[in-house]
Amino acid sequence: MENVVLVVHLILALCLIGIVLLQRSEGGGLGMGGGGGGGGVMSGRAAATALAKLTWVFAIAFIITSISLTIIAARNAADQSVLDRTTDTTPAETTAPVPAAPSVPVLPESDLLPPSPADATNGGPVAPPRAD
């Protein structure tokens, strides 16, 4: 329904622009300046041409569709506020999952300790290095 009214509204806007551009300019703003014979916007005897009547029809239809779109938008927005719509998503849904830490191999306790002096290749004590 909203899309249909919106399309009609846009068509009316284009038609209204076209009709206004087709009309003859009478010179001067609001009928001031531009010859004295009457027929301006402010005079009592405005010429009611077919284009002027069609302009009024398109303008009234444009206003009706504007009000209709406002009412439709108000009904759709009555369910939730803008803040409710933004806080509905949880951070877990919007962020990527954190990758797991890489696994570290567990070494036996004997590999973590420094070698003892008795661990020589021949089983005897290890002599400390000479300082020269």
pLDDT single digits (tens) 38-50: 555 555 445 568 8
Q: How far apart are CA 46 and CA 26, in angstroms?
A: 11
Of 38-52, 65-79, 113-127, highest mean pLDDT: 65-79
Residue with more model confidence, 36 or 88: 88
Residue 33 inside a domain? The answer is no
Q: How far apart are CA 22 and CA 38, in angstroms?
A: 21
Burial class (CB within 10 angstroms; exposed 0-12, middle 13-18, buried 19+) of 94: exposed
pTM over 0.85: no
Burial class (CB within 10 angstroms; exposed 0-12, middle 13-18, buried 19+) of 128: exposed
Q: Mean per-residue pLDDT for 56-61?
A: 95
Residue 8 inside a domain? The answer is yes
Residue 124 inside a domain? The answer is no
Asked if the model's pLDDT at residue 124 lies above 70, the reply is no
Residue 31 inside a domain? The answer is no
Residue 85 inside a domain? The answer is no
Asked if the model's pLDDT at residue 79 lies above 80, the reply is no
pLDDT on residue 112: 59
Residue 89 inside a domain? The answer is no
Question: Residue type for 44, please?
Answer: G
pLDDT on residue 85: 65
Full residue range of the structural domain in which residue 63 is found? 1-23+49-77
Q: Are 19 and 58 in contact (CB under 8 A)?
A: yes
The count of structural domains within the chain is: 1
Question: Which of 94, 9, 114 has the alpha carbon at shortest distance from 59?
Answer: 9
Share of the chain above pLDDT 90, in %: 29
